[in-house]
Chain A
Amino acid sequence: MGDFTTTELMSIFAMQGFAGISLFSVLLLMALGLAIIFGQMGVINMAHGEFMTIGAYTTFFMSEFAVSYGMVDIYFPFAIIASFLIAFIVGYLVELGLIRHLYQRPLDTLLATWGLSLIMQQLFRSTFGAREVSPTLPDWMLGSVQPTETIDIPINGLFVLGLTIVLTAGVFYFLFKSKRGVHVRATTQNRLMAGAVGINTKRVDRITFALGCGIAGVAGAAFTTIASTGPTTGSLYIVDTFMVVVFGGAASLFGTIASAFSIAEAQSIMEFFISGSMAKVLTLLFVVGILMMRPEGLFASKIRK
């Protein structure tokens, strides 16, 4: 490293720091929806990635619409809202038609949702075509911010980071401050008792599931800025998503955050020094190792069985 100036090394250090934080926000954004569905409801939703894809396609069609009406600069926030709503509605219907019949059978849910994910992928392919598409992004979202001559901070990374913060805060507010959130937590902790005190637990389930799907839709919309949009895009994320949620401890939102942070930092630091494939292997080993010591994940859930 002889031929680098101190400033250059410092810049790389700063950018690498941001790369870690950026990966953290991506992982957290992916996992947030699943943390609600899997963590709060215990449903292993293998179709989670496809709900992200719904968001991504919604964003793509909004962008096509925006291009033809000359509204490219402002459409993105609306695309995010639309992605949330559409994924929410689809999630609601899926719960109504499929998931609610399988609450007592977690392994069957796994198979059923995996089947659902295949069906959704093929639906995307048949309706929107097999080729990958790319939404037209507003100019303000392209390129990078340069605080100094040698540091580039990607704007899309900042955008995802901001969105993740807002969404996480929103989820916390919903779960811990709102009345509906109390219902959700009560149902999670003791379904029978929650029903006994007059909470419509079936309705709570439906809303919770739909909400998780809606959040996945938002994640999908955000990821169009950094990655691909195609029928099988969702499958790129599903493994990482489950890893984050399981590693964090299924029923704990704090756990999900801590887990996303540690996985992201471990991976991005290792990737810098060793090859990408090896970094992934070591990250997985690290996760497996910790899970062997703490089977319930980083933050143990305190659920009464």
Chain B
Amino acid sequence: MKLRVRNQLRIAVRHSLLALTFTFCTLGTLATAAPATSKVNTTDLAVTDDSVTVGILHSLTGTMAISETGSVEAEKLAIEQINKSGGVLGRQIKIIVEDGASDWPTFAEKAKKLLVKDKTAAVFGAWTSASRKAVLPVFEKENGLLYYPTFYEGLEQSHNVFYTGQEATQQILAGLDWASKTLKAKKFYLIGSDYIWPRTSMKIARKHIEKVLKGTVVDEQYYPLGHTQFGSLINKIKLKKPDVIFAAVVGGSNVAFFKQLNAAGLTAKRQPLLTISVTEDEVLGIGGENLEGFYSSMKYFQALDLPGNKKFVQEFKNKWGNDSVIGDVTESAYLGPWLWKWAVEKAGSFDVDKVVKASENLEWKDSPHGYLKVDKNHHLWMKTRIGQWKRDGQAKIVFESDVIKPDPFPKGYQ
């Protein structure tokens, strides 16, 4: 189901007269590089002659702060770089940071504040699917613009949102194909935390394993968020002897899962495992020694040997300290401000509808994770990689797919 908002008309009528008047008044000052505010901003956004305001909306406090801090850092870095290189349409970007506090109604309230009171031209934020679902109606009603960084379950597309992380099929199908081909896996054991993203992901995975790869799913298990005791699960795995464990366990559970897996003797040598929920960020908590040899399926790893990535990693460390690690979502968050800048400049306007239109088929050849293109379904074309974790918390890239078209509503997988 495609969600589309049609309020262009209302805005256009309200502002066309005003815009006309302004155009005449400012004709004299057009000699400067920046185009006139009245021209680039017909929808009453927070744009002045030398600045434009955007919002960052993440959890700075509460449980999710663990995950979202990296995204905030990446977005701030990108905006700082854009400002240094001359800003957007000659305007410096000002940031208003709001704290969603890991609480979904708070996200919705802050989103409303950023759009209605602050009139931000774009918002970079939301992290969990729950927070995105909470702010979505606000962005659609106020015709705002959201760049959402997390890899997620798909089954969503909105006029007002760009999804800079992978949707489920991009991340999962390539990973499973690889496991089937390279690890010769036939028997899969699916494990996830018990909420929408793992459940949807595992549904897609099961369909793919059974229908396409002609393998079997020996068991499918979900554990409540925050579950920390995996003794029984590990024994079940030992009993079923899968060729590969396919895991989407998150948060504190993730740490406990890997620590206990390893302590129970299920090391990578004995039991191959492919996960879609471990990035460099998670490795810090789990410990490299507990992950050594296991695989992650992601579009981005900090160790990627690409010129765009080397530069990105260096600049990230310069700004946020040498100990910083960069995970997949952090990199996705970094893409948002740049994609917005280029779309605005292509459109020659900050108006949301024009920016959305200009975003289609926008390409970035040397992004940190390589080539990407914005599809007209608002998701990105990109590659998927398989990384094998090393003791030092970095991954060795063992496989790279072709550029994959995003498919948020996969046929035959729902």
Contact = CB atoms under 8 A, between A and B. Distances in A.
B66 A130 contact: yes
A132 B66 contact: yes
A231 B255 contact: no
B223 interface: yes
B231 A268 contact: yes
B50 to A, nearest CB: 34
Nearest to A8: B239
A227 B228 CA distance: 6
A73 interface: no
Given A12-B235, A132-B255, A280-B227, A228 B285 contact: yes
Contacts of A12: 235, 238-239
A235 B66 CA distance: 14
Interface string B252-263: 101110011011
Interface string B228-248: 110111111011000000000
A229 to B, nearest CB: 7
B255 A272 contact: no
Nearest to A135: B287
Interface string A220-249: 000101111111110111000000000000
B61 interface: yes
A152 interface: yes
Contacts of A18: 231
Interface string B280-321: 011011110110000000000000000000000000000000
Interface in A144-186: 144, 146, 152, 154-157
A115 to B, nearest CB: 14
A133 interface: yes
A232 B232 contact: no
A228 B256 contact: yes
Contacts of A134: 255, 284-287, 290
Contact of A144 (B232, B239, B264, B287): B264
Given A227-B255, A236-B228, A130 B69 contact: yes
Contacts of B264: 15, 144, 152, 154
Interface residues of B, number: 44
A106 to B, nearest CB: 26
B105 interface: no
Contacts of B70: 131
A277 interface: yes
A154 B281 CA distance: 26
Nearest to A14: B235
Contacts of B234: 19
Contacts of A229: 255, 285
Q: Which of A132, A267, A280 has the most CB of B within 10 A?
A: A132
Nearest to B227: A276
Contacts of A230: 66, 252, 285
A235 B221 CA distance: 23
B285 A272 contact: no
A232 B63 contact: yes
B342 interface: no
Q: Which of B70, B228, B234 has the most CB of A within 10 A?
A: B228
Interface string B331-375: 000000000000000000000000000000000000000000000
Contacts of A301: none
Contacts of B235: 12, 15-16, 19, 272
A231 B259 CA distance: 19
Contact of B221 (A16, A26, A155, A275): A275
Contacts of A133: 284-285
A237 B252 CA distance: 11
Interface residues of A, number: 53
A122 interface: yes
Contacts of A132: 66, 252, 255, 282, 284-285
Nearest to B236: A272
Q: Which of B68, B70, B221, B285 has the most CB of A within 10 A?
A: B285
Contacts of B281: 131
A277 B236 contact: no
A59 to B, nearest CB: 13
A213 B368 CA distance: 47
Nearest to B226: A236
B224 interface: yes
Contacts of B224: 276-277, 280
Contact of B262 (A136, A142, A276): A142
A23 to B, nearest CB: 5
Contact of A26 (B63, B69, B229, B262): B229
A144 B238 CA distance: 14
Nearest to B62: A232
Nearest to B232: A271
A143 interface: yes
Interface in A271-286: 271-272, 275-277, 279-280
A142 to B, nearest CB: 7
Interface string A192-227: 000000000000000000000000000000010111
Given A144-B263, A227-B255, A228-B228, 18 more contacts: A19-B232, A19-B235, A130-B65, A130-B69, A132-B285, A136-B287, A137-B287, A142-B263, A142-B289, A146-B265, A154-B265, A229-B285, A230-B285, A232-B252, A276-B194, A276-B223, A276-B224, A277-B224
Interface of A: 4, 8, 12, 15-16, 18-20, 22-23, 26, 122, 125, 129-134, 136-137, 142-144, 146, 152, 154-157, 223, 225-233, 235-237, 267-269, 271-272, 275-277, 279-280
The 9 closest A-B pairs by CB, nearest first: A132-B285, A19-B231, A228-B255, A152-B265, A154-B263, A271-B232, A276-B223, A134-B287, A227-B256
